[in-house]
Amino acid sequence: MRKFHLTTIWGIPIRVSLSLLIFLPVLAWLISSTAQIEVYAGIVSVLTGTQLDLARLQAGSTPWLVGGAAAIGLFASVALHELGHSYAAMRYGLETESITLWILGGLASFKTIPREWDREFWIAVAGPITSVLVGAVCYAALLLLPANATVVLFVVGWLAVTNIVLAVFNMLPAFPMDGGRVLRALLARNRPYASATRIAARIGTVFAVLFAVVGVLSFSPLLLLLALFIYGAATGESRTVALADLLEGLTVGDVARPATATIEASATVEELVDRMFADRTTEFTVTDGGDVVGVVTVQDFRALSKAEREADSVADLMETDLPRFEETVGAFDALVELDTGGSGAALVDGPSGTRVVSRQDFSSAMEMRRLIGNSGPF
């Protein structure tokens, strides 16, 4: 979904998702409802010892003013929560690429996720700690504000309560929420990181199912959306960590294969088809005067007619804008770049010349590591 740049703090771009811009008026409307104002006015009255004037809060356009200010304040609090994570990461020398505010809260995107349990622990708890501090500051302000500042008292009191609720909710062990990451960090103290991730992810999927059930029973679309997010993120990160674990210690040079199945760029597609049948392979490295220039697979010509196969050359079909890696690049980093760019293969440069690495090569390498263990390059 489209994102808009809001500001930059500590060199970290703060972005706002279109989903949040659409949701903010809805949230303001929900907060401004009579029932919400009555509930939170009662809570603020208990916190301050001063009875808030409900008639004043509900007069004219005041409910919309209260709802809008509270909604904006909430997402400002979420931004501070994510900055808390980012500050802790900076203390460990880790880079935060961006912070995105969206319909379900905020997401701090880190360049790398630390595998040291203590680092992940403190980065994860830094967000809820920040929310508690923001709630405490709002509560202190609540005690200092004059009793006749009804609207300001309500908004500040609402933010005090909501920040504490935000901190508590985020500490639920529903991976990849903060509590789930804390759980993984604690599990990783005495077991492999991949195993800790699998356990935390399974617990996260259980919470996702619970949120979905409650969302259906309470007719809450947000809880259903949260359930989908947790389920997708938990299973996705578990899979990513498993891949990284299988490729740990390997470079893309270890995975790449020699360019044995080659065909000249000037060859016709019909010649390519004949070679595929003869050599029993569906992928060829394309060369031009001995230099590797691309890759061609059976999918590249499957939709062509017989006349087109005879007229077109391999150069017309081959994939040429392939990523290039030095053979010393980590295998997992190369695989991530392939996935990000949507490429099926990449060229690998080294002292012995240019080779090709495909997704199938990564799959074969991971299967070998799974069978023989992660003792090192094979």
* Residue 207: half-sphere exposure toward Cβ, Cα within 13 Å: 24
Residue-range domain boundaries for the chain: 3-247, 252-372
The pLDDT assigned to 302 comes to 63
Least confident of 16-30, 186-200, 203-217, 233-247: 233-247
φ/ψ region of 219 (left if φ > 0, alpha if ψ in -120 to 50, else beta) reads: left
Mean pLDDT calculated for residue range 129-139:
94
Residue 70 pLDDT greater than 60, yes or no: yes
Q: Kindly report the pTM of this predicted structure.
A: 0.73
Cα torsion for 126, 129, 133, 135, to the nearest 10°? 120
pLDDT at 279 exceeding the cut of 90: no
| Sequence-ordered list of residues with C-beta below 8 angstroms from that of 311, at least 6 positions apart, any chain | 268
Spatial distance between the Cα atoms of 164 and 236, rounded to a whole number of angstroms: 29
For the chain, state the CA radius of gyration: 28
Whether residue 83 contacts residue 130, with contact meaning beta carbons closer than 8 Å, is answered with yes
In 3D space, the residue among 250, 230, 251 whose CA is nearest the CA of residue 326 turns out to be 251
pLDDT at 378: 44
Residue 169's Cβ-side half-sphere holds a number of Cα atoms within 13 Å equal to: 14
The residue type at 185:
A
Q: Lowest mean pLDDT of 119-133, 312-326, 352-366, name the range.
A: 312-326
Residue scoring higher pLDDT (76 or 322) = 76
- CA nearest neighbour of 197 among 123, 107, 117, 291: 117
Q: Percent of the chain beyond pLDDT 70?
A: 87
Residue 377, pLDDT > 60, answer: no
Cα separation, 107 vs 97, in Å, equals 11
71 pLDDT higher than 50:
yes
CATH topology of domain 252-372: CBS-domain (3.10.580)
- Residue 307 is predicted with a pLDDT of 63
The answer to whether residue 49 scores a pLDDT higher than 70 is yes
pLDDT at 333: 77
Strand order in the sheet with 262-264: 262-264, 283-288, 291-297
More confident site: 155 or 246? 155
Q: Is 251 helix (H, G, I), strand (E, B) or coil?
A: strand
Computed over every residue of the chain, the mean pLDDT equals 81
Q: Does the structure show a pLDDT above 60 at 376?
A: no
Residue 67 makes CB contacts below 8 A (sequence gap 6+) with 27, 28, 29, 30, 31, 32
Name the pLDDT band for 150 (thresholds 50, 70, 90): confident
Between residues 272 and 173, the one the model is more confident about: 173
Of 133-142, 158-167, 365-374, the one with minimum mean pLDDT is 365-374
Higher pLDDT residue, 175 or 341?
A: 175
Is pLDDT at 55 greater than 70 in this prediction?
yes
pLDDT at 282 exceeding the cut of 80: no
